[in-house]
Structure 1
């Protein structure tokens, strides 16, 4: 989990984990109504305390949920990509994690020593894993400088005619009052020579697009790269919930005066502000389903944020999770994100 834009307010920490101690997978053929119980049972098998004052993430589950995972919470959801991979959801539990504090330039390795005897944390096992992780880091060569074969034969899943048809369908749905807006996405596909090549591609993209929520990971049958400026939702151990949707984006200029003009134009854009406020209203409604009554507030609206390559309009919606709900209920309330799908 890579805070490639470390100067960003939310880009303080980056994390590296390896050798998971357990995996959880949920496939297209599994019953959606059983997902919550299965995931909670898997999660509850592993419990460990955290070090006060340490990095926010000191080990735990890292994974992905494909767009098709929406069917777990939306009974009328239908996949538009029948060729998607079998596993809709996969999480891996990492006991050992290396955390790098970009602000203090400090590297810390955490391990709870799970699962020890009777599934409890084992201090000796934790120390052993920390030493092994440190040894690998100390002797790791800089592979990012290697020249690795990289395929460039990308193919687009949708041609121009299909894209135009999709635009027409969205316009018709808006006129019919079914939706307010939609994001029309296309899928680019290629076959990479190896996982090493995929990591090389990620590093190359990282040079061009520095984002606070970047990530690279390998899972069963797939490798994932993410270069995202936006986090869907976060929750603290005290149940404080926060969503910070982005709607409104403009590319930055290398000329300072021109860059200021671009930022001012974005901040005043009625179109971008209207889209941002629409998603804010959607998320207020989503969070109200799982948060305590009257706890959901908009703490900032259409603030201008600067990344190395882009200007964004960002809003913040906060709330207090209801006692009867947990993080899985929260995820179900906001997934998939309105700033991605439309509304």
Structure 2
């Protein structure tokens, strides 16, 4: 392991080509999480991160965050949840490591946590009924490095329980075995909260708001729901095979299980260097016809509409980063790059900056939350319109799953292409940005293209 500041507890494990075996070895533990590059290629597919049994948890509902420490009574606070998380992480601050994560926070930050940042109307129904934030503070992690083909169990040893359980953890992970097979089924009708007529009505209202000068772009999403039962890990294993994505995750909490195959990074911080990669612009893939597949990609890159839509969000994110980054450090080294995934092509821009010396990683997340690519521009007005036109609150969808290390490093996705399972219901969403020259049929089809992988998953689970 090449690290200038190795954590106090570190043991090398047998490398696994697929990390699902490693996760299966510990997924019976509380709050088990799997940050999964899903064997995608390139830098973003290098590391998988697995952790469980956090020694602190934070769950936010409405105005209250409950903080629970191992074996002690929980505390409640009405303070800003981002601030509460930042305070805990700073108490355990550690030097930088070459590994992406050796301990710290992992969890989800729902889209509706944005209500703690901006004042929004309360019109949409909260059908999710799960916490707006669910984050564990983890003292150990498994890091599977697909580039070096090496694997480690690492810990800063901040929780006494880690020392007591170290030998047991090693035993579990050194010879992981496939668990007994289980099932996961869906049944009944797949329901959508916006049929074609309702979608058209919302679309026309957004176009009218744009014409009146209220906004430039609004992301409009549809929500799908179906009854389900069984072990959602089975569904996730299928999802990651059908729709491999570099920012995938399987996250368990007492309230819900989140299955994400997200292609989109929200924010990365590595030694104060910040990167965000918004996606705006989509075309379906045609893997049966390579020539047509390449043509669809070129058409996306050449589309003036999609480039203009992407540029709007680039400008929004440059402004968000400007709140917490060093003046003059923000740049756009890669605008409008074509990135291809299992079912779609996307137009992706890369924006970078340097986090100011007096700013913390959690403050950066708050400054950019929720991500501009899934709201619209200007952000606050777009969020107000989303609240008006989408029948249900988004919950986890369009929020973020993130790790934030004790060393201040972070990586986070935007929770698109994501399913949530709780109370024997499976939900997922798909949406797209609407601008002045958007056409109804094209936008409706784009949403269908984005939902394709999840719709196929649902059908396979019947």
TM above 0.5, one fold?
Answer: yes
In structure 2, how many angstroms separate the alpha carbons of the residues matched to 1:95 and 1:142? 25
1:261 match? 295
2:55 match? 21
Check whether the contact 1:28–1:86 (CA below 8 A) recurs between aligned residues: no
Higher relative contact order (CA 8 A, sep 6+): 2
Secondary structure, aligned partner of 1:287 = helix
Question: Quick check: 1:185 aligned with 2:216?
Answer: no
In structure 2, how many angstroms separate the alpha carbons of the residues matched to 1:342 and 1:251? 22
Secondary structure, aligned partner of 1:76 = coil
In structure 2, how many angstroms separate the alpha carbons of the residues matched to 1:326 and 1:45? 13
In structure 2, how many angstroms separate the alpha carbons of the residues matched to 1:86 and 1:206? 24
Which of 41, 49, 53 lines up with 2:87 in the alignment?
41
Segments of structure 2 that go 5 or more residues without pairing to the other structure are 1-34, 65-76, 378-462
Which of 173, 188, 192 lines up with 2:209 in the alignment?
173
1:33-78 CA-to-partner distances (Å, cap 9, x unmatched) read 533442233323434445x43x211221111111110011112354
Question: Quick check: 1:279 aligned with 2:313?
Answer: yes
1:119 match? none
Secondary structure, aligned partner of 1:141 = coil
1:227 match? 261
1:163 match? 199
TM-score (norm 2): 0.66
In structure 2, how many angstroms separate the alpha carbons of the residues matched to 1:281 and 1:247? 13
In structure 1, how many angstroms separate the alpha carbons of the residues matched to 2:194 and 2:284? 26
Change (3 A) 1:48 1:293: closer
Secondary structure, aligned partner of 1:248 = strand
Secondary structure, aligned partner of 1:168 = helix
Secondary structure, aligned partner of 1:280 = helix
Segments of structure 1 that go 5 or more residues without pairing to the other structure are 117-124
In structure 1, how many angstroms separate the alpha carbons of the residues matched to 2:345 and 2:194? 29
TM-score (norm 1): 0.88
Q: CA deviation at 1:158?
A: 3.2
1:151 match? 186
Q: What are the equivalent positions in structure 2 for 1:1-343 lying under 5 Å apart? A: 1-30=35-64, 34-49=80-95, 52-53=97-98, 55-76=99-120, 78=122, 80-116=124-160, 126=162, 128-143=164-179, 146=181, 148-153=183-188, 154-194=190-230, 196=231, 198-236=232-270, 238-254=271-287, 255-343=289-377
Change (3 A) 1:115 1:77: farther
Q: CA deviation at 1:244?
A: 0.8
In structure 1, how many angstroms separate the alpha carbons of the residues matched to 2:124 and 2:236? 27
Q: Which of the pair is proportionally richer in strand?
A: 2
Instruction: Report the number of matched residues.
Output: 329
In structure 2, how many angstroms separate the alpha carbons of the residues matched to 1:225 and 1:23? 20
In structure 2, how many angstroms separate the alpha carbons of the residues matched to 1:231 and 1:32? 29
